[in-house]
């Protein structure tokens, strides 16, 4: 597939947004989107982890799994890599980047089980991206995720004091707003589509 | 066969490599080595870096009060960190007020030791110890309150002031996590090898359910203590004690202490209950009335039923204070019980002229 990496990058943000088009990574999206600052931190952490795990998984898939004809093991391998990488990143940040650790620290463990991360690695395989395309897709998906959660946090902060029916408070209204945001993002779909 | 072997080797190889890298990182990056911990600028400890301050202090046998066991959900384990504590964390914000934050107060379960640290803790926490007690008494005082007797291990003694409390470590049971819960000691300090507690049943309470439904005589129970700044003050002022429910516990300790030492002070104890069934320890209190220098016990029922055949005072304990206490001149007050009771008695006492620093209270939240 020879889509230009820049195209993939923008498509991953706008038309193929992990949250708004694929509904992946919803758990932390709903749980942490009540404050703009913290959701920005989480978005950055997700982008960072996505960029690196996509590359590591790409290399593992193409240079270990494919030659050994073990493609069907990709799920377990990808998951282990993501978990181990997050663990390592947490240790490094904790030791050397105090400020960043206190901003991101408590969110890093959440990322281990963020299915947007696994999703990106799997899409990369399904859509047979090359290394550069994968990197663009990884970073783009991360930024798309960040955009969506920060936008959501902004909306939630704005409507914080509005009266809602009891059953809609919290997660309920957030899901509805997510749906509306997804509809709005359909407006971008004319630009470019992946698959 | 070959494919199965390749699969096993590939997965083991990848996992093994990652495990190797992670353990390497753990040995190098996450190893903070040994750090110096200075307490109150006089005692020095060498602790292993990377631990939380709370658990490092625990390892040195210094027990900071903590109800949740270090999960950052109770806010009890506050200590003053003078240096080396790192930035204030989002997880502490709900429990530490802005003024406290200014003066360096931190939640010790959230602060990790990454540098040499200087901290301050109240001197009396050094006498806090952990004891593995044997349950000797389990007696129903009312439908919901049990008297629990604990005897300390052979040769160990607990030194406390009348009115202080200990914490019970409730073990894991029925899917509940370990929790610490505070209970006042009812025995006088002279009883330092066997203590007693009054434990009221709270529906769905983790510890009280354990005590009321699971605990048996001869079981071993872990306690930590003593804690608390609600205790008998050695002055010659007249004393007013006010309690409801298990709030009687610390007052009982104070009364027994005064009785044993033949302390010659005038003291009045106001106790409130709902019905006659909720009154307890009445005989003991009556015999204390006889043996003590000048002690009066006055109780009231807020909801006496016909079966109670109650001829005494009715209403809330607040009403007793209103009726029986003339003024607060040269008097001390000791209050213990639910926050609601304390919040209604406090303004009343101030109105009667009790000075603020002569009112001591223990809220049973």
What is the separation of C-alpha B70 from the centre of its chain, rounded to a whole number of angstroms?
A: 15
Give the residue-averaged pLDDT of B233-238.
89
Domain B238-363 carries which CATH code? 3.40.50.80
Return the ∠ at Cα B139 (arms to B136 and B144), rounded to 5°: 135
Q: How many CB atoms lie within 10 A of CB B251?
A: 28
pLDDT for the residue A1: 57
pLDDT for the residue B150: 93
Give the residue-averaged pLDDT of A81-102.
82
B365 pLDDT higher than 80: no
Show the tokens assigned to B47: 């602790």
Phi-psi category of B216—alpha, beta or left, where left has phi over 0 and alpha has psi -120 to 50?
beta
What does the pLDDT look like over A144-185, one tens digit per residue?
A: 999 999 999 999 999 888 888 888 887 889 999 999 999 999
Q: How confident is the model at residue A189 (pLDDT cuts 50, 70, 90)?
A: confident
Q: How far is B60 from chain A (nearest CA, A)?
A: 25
A92–B25 C-beta distance less than 8 A: yes
Q: How many CB atoms lie within 10 A of CB B266?
A: 15
CB-count exposure of residue B363 (10 Å: 0-12, 13-18, 19+):
middle
Interface of A with B in 89-128 (CB under 8 A): 91-92, 94-95, 98-99, 102, 106
A175 inside 8 A of chain B by CB: no
What does the pLDDT look like over B41-58, one tens digit per residue?
A: 888 888 888 888 888 888
Q: In what order do the strands lie in the sheet with B165-170?
A: B179-184, B165-170, B220-227, B129-140, B145-151, B194-200
Q: B196: Cβ–Cβ under 8 A, 6 or more apart, which residues?
A: B137, B147, B148, B149, B150, B185, B186, B187
Domain ranges in chain A are 5-176
B86–A70 C-beta distance less than 8 A: no
Give the residue-averaged pLDDT of A108-122.
88
pLDDT for the residue A104: 65
Residues B170 and B210 sit within 8 Å (Cβ to Cβ):
yes
Residues B151 and B163 sit within 8 Å (Cβ to Cβ):
no
Q: Which of A38, A79, A91, A106 to mutate to probe the B interface, most B CBs <10 Å?
A: A91
pLDDT for the residue B174: 82
Q: Percent of chain A beyond pLDDT 90?
A: 47
A87–B14 C-beta distance less than 8 A: no
Terminal CA-to-CA distance of chain A, rounded, Å?
A: 10
Residues B264 and B199 sit within 8 Å (Cβ to Cβ):
no
What does the pLDDT look like over B125-136, one tens digit per residue?
A: 888 888 999 999
Chain B residue numbers with beta carbons less than 8 Å from the beta carbon of A69 are 3, 6
Show the tokens assigned to B260: 């044993």
Q: How far is A177 from chain B (nearest CA, A)?
A: 27
Candidates A65, A68, A91; nearest CB to B29: A91
Whole-structure pTM value: 0.62
Chain A residue numbers with beta carbons less than 8 Å from the beta carbon of B26 are 91
Interface confidence: ipTM more than 0.95: no
Of A142-151, B31-40, B61-70, B304-313, which gets the smallest average pLDDT? Answer: B61-70
A87–B22 C-beta distance less than 8 A: yes
The DSSP H or E segment spanning B5 is helix B2-28
Q: A155: Cβ–Cβ under 8 A, 6 or more apart, which residues?
A: A177
Strands B194-200 and B145-151: antiparallel
Residues B185 and B197 sit within 8 Å (Cβ to Cβ):
yes
**Residue with tokens 């982890």, as numbered in its chain:** A49
What is the rounded CA–CA span in Å between residue B362 and residue B342? 8
What does the pLDDT look like over A11-42, one tens digit per residue?
A: 999 998 999 998 898 888 888 888 888 888 88
In whole numbers, what is the pLDDT of chain B averaged over residues? 88
pLDDT for the residue A89: 84
What does the pLDDT look like over B296-338, one tens digit per residue?
A: 898 898 888 888 788 888 888 888 888 888 888 888 999 998 8
Evaluate whether the domain defined by B128-227 bears CATH number 2.40.30.10.
yes
Question: What are the residues of chain B with a beta carbon less than 8 Å away from any beta carbon of chain A?
Answer: 3, 6-7, 10-11, 14-15, 18-19, 21-22, 25-26, 29-30, 86-87, 89-91
Chain A residue numbers with beta carbons less than 8 Å from the beta carbon of B22 are 84, 87-88
Domain ranges in chain B are 34-125, 128-227, 238-363
Nearest CA to B57 out of B126, B147, B11, B156 is that of: B126
B6–A106 C-beta distance less than 8 A: no
Chain B residue numbers with beta carbons less than 8 Å from the beta carbon of A80 are 14-15, 18
Which CATH fold topology does B34-125 show? Ubiquitin-like (UB roll) (3.10.20)
What is the rounded CA–CA span in Å between residue B117 and residue B79? 12
CB crowding A107-131: b at 16 or more within 10 Å, else e = bbebbbebbbbbbbbbbbbeeebee
Candidates A70, A80, A81; nearest CB to B7: A70
What is the rounded CA–CA span in Å between residue A116 and residue B190? 64
B40 pLDDT higher than 60: yes
């Amino acid at each position: 597939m020879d889509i230009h990496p820049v195209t993939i990058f923008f498509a991953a943000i706008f038309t193929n947004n992990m949250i708004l088009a694929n509904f992946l990574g919803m758990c932390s999206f709903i749980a942490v989107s009540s404050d703009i600052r913290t959701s920005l931190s989480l978005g950055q952490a997700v982008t960072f982890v996505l960029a690196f795990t996509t590359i590591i998984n790409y290399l593992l898939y193409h240079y270990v799994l494919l030659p050994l004809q073990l493609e069907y093991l990709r799920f377990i391998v990808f998951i282990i890599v993501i978990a181990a990488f997050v663990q390592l990143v947490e240790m490094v940040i904790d030791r050397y980047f105090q400020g960043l650790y206190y901003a991101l620290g408590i969110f890093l463990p959440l990322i281990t089980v963020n299915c947007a991360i696994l999703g990106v690695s799997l899409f990369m395989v399904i859509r047979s991206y090359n290394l550069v395309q994968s990197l663009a897709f990884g970073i783009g998906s991360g930024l798309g995720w960040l955009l969506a959660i920060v936008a959501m946090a902004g909306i939630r902060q704005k409507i914080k004091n509005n009266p809602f029916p009891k059953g809609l408070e919290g997660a309920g209204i957030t899901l509805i707003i997510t749906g509306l945001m997804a509809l709005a993002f359909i407006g971008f779909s004319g630009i470019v589509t992946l698959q | 066969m070959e494919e199965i072997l390749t699969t096993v080797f590939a997965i083991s190889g990848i996992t093994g490599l990652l495990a190797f890298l992670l353990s390497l990182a753990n040995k190098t990056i996450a190893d903070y080595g040994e750090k110096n911990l200075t307490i109150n600028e006089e005692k020095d400890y060498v602790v292993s870096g990377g631990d939380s301050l709370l658990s490092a202090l625990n390892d040195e046998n210094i027990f900071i009060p903590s109800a949740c066991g270090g999960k950052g959900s109770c806010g009890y384990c506050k200590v003053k960190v003078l240096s080396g504590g790192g930035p204030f964390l989002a997880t502490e914000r709900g429990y530490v007020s802005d003024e406290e934050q200014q003066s360096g107060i931190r939640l010790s379960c959230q602060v990790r030791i990454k540098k040499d640290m200087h901290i301050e803790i109240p001197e009396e926490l050094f006498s806090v110890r952990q004891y593995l007690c044997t349950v000797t008494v389990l007696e129903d005082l009312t439908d919901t309150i049990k008297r629990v007797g604990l005897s300390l291990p052979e040769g160990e003694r607990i030194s406390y002031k009348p009115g202080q409390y200990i914490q019970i470590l409730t073990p894991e049971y029925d899917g509940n996590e370990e929790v610490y819960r505070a209970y006042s000691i009812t025995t006088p300090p002279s009883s330092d090898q066997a203590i007693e507690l009054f434990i009221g049943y709270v529906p769905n309470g983790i510890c009280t359910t354990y005590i009321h439904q699971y605990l048996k005589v001869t079981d071993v129970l872990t306690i930590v203590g003593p804690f608390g700044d609600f205790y008998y003050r050695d002055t010659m002022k007249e004393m007013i004690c006010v309690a409801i429910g298990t709030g009687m516990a610390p007052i009982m300790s104070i009364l027994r202490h005064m009785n044993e030492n033949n302390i010659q002070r005038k003291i009045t104890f106001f106790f409130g209950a709902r019905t006659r069934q909720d009154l307890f320890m009445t005989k003991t209190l009556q015999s204390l009335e006889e043996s003590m220098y000048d002690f009066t016990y006055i109780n009231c029922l807020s909801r006496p039923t016909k079966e109670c055949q109650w001829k005494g005072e009715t209403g809330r304990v607040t009403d007793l204070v209103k009726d029986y206490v003339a003024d607060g001149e040269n008097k001390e007050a000791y209050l213990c019980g639910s926050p609601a009771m304390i919040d209604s008695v406090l303004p009343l006492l101030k109105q009667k002229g009790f000075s603020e620093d002569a009112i001591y209270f223990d809220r049973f939240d």
